[in-house]
Structure 1
Amino acid sequence: MRTLPLQSHSSPARLRAGILSGALAVTLAACGGGGGGSAPTATAAAAPSTLSGTAVDGYLQGARVLLDVNGNGLADPGEPTAVTDAAGRYSLDYSQVASPLAGMRVIVTGGIDTDTGYAFTGMLTARADVARSGQLVSPLTSLVDALVARGLSLDEARTKVAGALGLTVADLATDPLAVLASQPGLYTRQVALQRAVQLMASASQGNETAHQAQERVLGALAAVIVAQNGPATVGEIVARANASQAGVGRELAEAIEDTLERALRTQGGHASAKASLKAMDQIRHEMESSHEYNLGQAASRLDQRNRTTAYSGLTGSAGRSEAVNTLTSRDRTTATVSQPASTAGRLLASNCFQCHGTGGVGGFERIRGSDAAEVKDYLRKPARSDIMAAHAQGYTNAQLDAIIAYLKQ
């Protein structure tokens, strides 16, 4: 339970009154109201009213950034929001917020991970500090936030997370893509952490939202870090968490870290890392959509569909370097995608691509052809039981028939 001493945004009149009274006091002081008769100096300036920074897993483009004024985790009317640009940058105007900024949560959801081109379905959080600029929101700051939620101060939480992962406190505020050449491990740790969290959350989501499940998993990781002495890998921390599928979470994290480290050492560098991370995300999506949490089996199924051995290569250390080269080469090849004869239902079906990838990449094959009729089966399930069931409730029978007809071509 978070107990931030923040004013509710639900009284905007009181917030504006507080801001206006403060402004009046400054004006009176500048006019000599405090006595002494001294003239105002040229250096007196209004306090900054923007909070700016970067949202990064890869850079998140088009993501919503929320300043959670009342601490309830929701985007309520009147709370500052912004949308990230192509480099993950955001700027929040908090001029109408009277409460102290430091300690408020910054929450990032949605958008596109520019390293993979896939929709970002996770949630990143951070605690605002007095700097007001350069506020990084990342998987590591999300972990710091989870420790703050357990009662640690922000400084204590940063120190614990940095020590647990063999980093410095300064590293936690460093854009991992900006220092990719000199500190590749800062990037590989973060993307491995985020994907392990999302996998374990998916495995035990139940009636929670995806973001609630992810926060619960982060809480379990925070408990490990509080009790930990000395540095460990992301995989080791994940394995110790009291969370469903922690074992396969560790396998995924370790496979991602090793794969990306190999990719970054090749001539392809970041391009190779992006191609490899995209493939690892496809393996994770395969486990999540099938509810079969076995890394090797998910990779084998993808290999069968794509007539390759690259996915299995990523999950076994002996073939990773060759798999990285194969995936990099394939990612650089631009494929021409032809449309089916009938495009009726295409716009409706495009909603499926948000989770299943563009152009049939990332699991879309599972609902193609004769299996497309499975889409309608989700209408019989409770909306909260499955993400597909929730989507299905938004369509009429006729619209679902149009989607199925398009996918069956």
Structure 2
Amino acid sequence: MCPSFARLPWAGIVASALAAALTACGGGGGSGTAAPASSSLSGSAVDGYLKGATVFLDVNGNGLADAGEPTATTDDVGRYRLDYATLSVPVAGLRVIVSGGIDTDTGYAFAGRLSTRADGAATGQLVSPLTSLVDALVAQGLTLDAARARVAAALGLNVADLSTDPLAVLASQPALYTRQLALQRAVQLLASANAGSAETAHAAQERMLRALADVVVAQRGSATVGELVARVSASESASAKALADAVESAVDAALRSPGGQTSARAVMKAMDQLRSEMEGSRDYGLARAAARLDERNRLSVYTQIASSAGKHDAINTLTRRSGGTATVSQPASTAGRLLASNCFQCHGTGGVGGFDRIRGSEAAEVKDYLGKPARGDIMAAHAQGYTSAQLDAIVAYLKQ
């Protein structure tokens, strides 16, 4: 015979844990009370982590933070907690919407808008560019599970990746981070290029997300963010693809550089400056925007970071200008390093990187310049300032 639940002194503490036992005993005799369910929803908002952003639970589904709807502000690492104790409606399925705040990766104000669907869990409710795309599919009639499966398949991800903080797994899954960055920038660019005269920026972004959701639904197999964006039926979709591709490529290269995440942040800041230049000028050509920024700042980094050429040197420059440092590990033998420092003047500045770009198989090409006219090639002019033995020492150093 089961003991009377009412006589247990710790009943109020362990009521939920004993629920199964009570059921087996035919109930608690009506004298016990179950512990109240959680009445809060918590998680984090991520583009980079969004600090000081407004988060709200959209109870009436109008996309606005109305009086009485649970609202919170994110902390320094994007965390939020929504208290919905006063609500009388189920929370599962309601939208969690994030806007404003500062992107801690760049230090810039976040002009985007992110959303997710509360899935019933009390904690771990991530709000990110990827969850925003999932939300756009749900808005078009798919179930949450089906929407997650579609987005994951379209981008070559696992469903679990969609609820994973990309910064928390940056070392092991850098592509999860770069895809989200590319997605958000592409959507914001499309929204800028296609916004109606009376349409808010956030409304335009949601409209572009819905257009991208149509592409995802029709997608067979996996694709890059750029490939998906290119198929959106909207003005400047080709420009959005170019931006998405450049973001993924540049940030991935930065993460692999000696500066790692420090360099990635510097690169993302530059990419957001490029996007802002494109949007502000209403000229959405990536190369033209990069050229204007370089001319204005008397640099060449924007053109390099937006293209496939010279990206390594641009990353070094951006890292240095951001105040970050990158530690370059030296080869076991440093013989020839002092001679190679002349190469460093062009292939890297400020003590950041440089040699990495010309190490390996390309190093052997140095001696080829001995047979070229010094007046017609700067590399030939440099190479012919050394003896053949000195060039051998440089090559040996760089090939380590």
- So what's the TM-score if we normalise by structure 2? 0.73
Unaligned segments of structure 1, at least 5 residues? 1-25, 335-409
Displacement of 1:219:
0.6
Task: Give the equivalent residue in structure 2 for 1:226.
Answer: 217
In the aligned structure 2, how far is the partner of 1:39 from the partner of 1:139?
A: 48
Whether 1:244 and 2:231 are equivalent positions in the alignment is no
Give the one of 159, 165, 168 matched to 2:155: 165
Q: Give SS of 1:318's match.
A: coil
Is the CA contact (8 Å cut-off) linking 2:58 and 2:97 kept in structure 1?
A: yes
Q: Give SS of 2:64's match.
A: coil
Q: Deviations along 1:374-400, whole A, 9 cap, x unmatched? A: xxxxxxxxxxxxxxxxxxxxxxxxxxx
* Closer/same/farther in 2, CA of residues 187 and 333 from structure 1, 3 Å limit: closer
Q: Give SS of 1:79's match.
A: coil
Task: Give the equivalent residue in structure 2 for 1:177.
Answer: 167
Whether 1:270 and 2:261 are equivalent positions in the alignment is yes
Q: Give SS of 1:230's match.
A: coil
Look at both structures and tell me which one has the larger radius of gyration over its CA atoms. Answer: 2
Give the one of 61, 65, 68 matched to 1:71: 61
Whether 1:153 and 2:146 are equivalent positions in the alignment is no
In the aligned structure 2, how far is the partner of 1:101 from the partner of 1:36?
A: 28
In the aligned structure 1, how far is the partner of 2:122 from the partner of 2:200?
A: 30
Displacement of 1:321:
1.4
The aligned runs of 1:242-321 (5 Å cut-off) are 242-321=233-312
In the aligned structure 2, how far is the partner of 1:65 from the partner of 1:36?
A: 40
The aligned runs of 1:56-95 (5 Å cut-off) are 56-95=46-85
Displacement of 1:273:
0.3
In the aligned structure 2, how far is the partner of 1:173 from the partner of 1:35?
A: 37
Q: Give SS of 1:298's match.
A: helix
In the aligned structure 1, how far is the partner of 2:167 from the partner of 2:27?
A: 52
In the aligned structure 2, how far is the partner of 1:314 from the partner of 1:213?
A: 28
State the superposition RMSD in angstroms: 1.7
Task: Give the equivalent residue in structure 2 for 1:378.
Answer: none
Which stretches of structure 1, 4 residues or more, deviate above 3 A after TM superposition? 34-39
Letter in 1 for 2:164: T
Q: Deviations along 1:178-199, whole A, 9 cap, x unmatched? A: 0000000000000000000000
Q: Give SS of 2:80's match.
A: strand
Q: Give SS of 2:76's match.
A: coil
Q: Percent identity?
A: 66
The aligned runs of 1:318-397 (5 Å cut-off) are 318-332=309-323
Is the CA contact (8 Å cut-off) linking 2:263 and 2:324 kept in structure 1?
A: no
In the aligned structure 2, how far is the partner of 1:268 from the partner of 1:136?
A: 27
In the aligned structure 2, how far is the partner of 1:238 from the partner of 1:125?
A: 19
In the aligned structure 1, how far is the partner of 2:324 from the partner of 2:46?
A: 26
* Closer/same/farther in 2, CA of residues 35 and 54 from structure 1, 3 Å limit: closer
Task: Give the equivalent residue in structure 2 for 1:37.
Answer: 29
Displacement of 1:40:
2.4
Q: Give SS of 2:284's match.
A: coil
Task: Give the equivalent residue in structure 1 for 2:350.
Answer: none
Task: Give the equivalent residue in structure 2 for 1:189.
Answer: 179
Is the CA contact (8 Å cut-off) linking 2:212 and 2:229 kept in structure 1?
A: yes
In the aligned structure 1, how far is the partner of 2:241 from the partner of 2:311?
A: 17
Letter in 1 for 2:249: D
In the aligned structure 2, how far is the partner of 1:36 from the partner of 1:60?
A: 47
Displacement of 1:322:
1.2
* Closer/same/farther in 2, CA of residues 315 and 36 from structure 1, 3 Å limit: closer
In the aligned structure 2, how far is the partner of 1:155 from the partner of 1:257?
A: 27
Displacement of 1:317:
0.3
Q: Deviations along 1:43-91, whole A, 9 cap, x unmatched? A: x311100000000000000000010001010111100000000000000
Q: Deviations along 1:275-308, whole A, 9 cap, x unmatched? A: 0000000000001111111101111111111111
Is the CA contact (8 Å cut-off) linking 2:211 and 2:233 kept in structure 1?
A: yes
Displacement of 1:213:
0.3
Q: Deviations along 1:103-141, whole A, 9 cap, x unmatched? A: 000000000000000000000000001112000000000
In the aligned structure 2, how far is the partner of 1:122 from the partner of 1:316?
A: 25
Aligned length: 301
In the aligned structure 1, how far is the partner of 2:41 from the partner of 2:117?
A: 11
Q: Give SS of 1:108's match.
A: strand
Letter in 1 for 2:262: A
In the aligned structure 2, how far is the partner of 1:96 from the partner of 1:156?
A: 31
In the aligned structure 2, how far is the partner of 1:268 from the partner of 1:213?
A: 36
Q: Deviations along 1:154-177, whole A, 9 cap, x unmatched? A: 000000000000000000000000
Letter in 2 for 1:240: R
In the aligned structure 2, how far is the partner of 1:295 from the partner of 1:233?
A: 18
- So what's the TM-score if we normalise by structure 1? 0.72
In the aligned structure 2, how far is the partner of 1:303 from the partner of 1:212?
A: 32
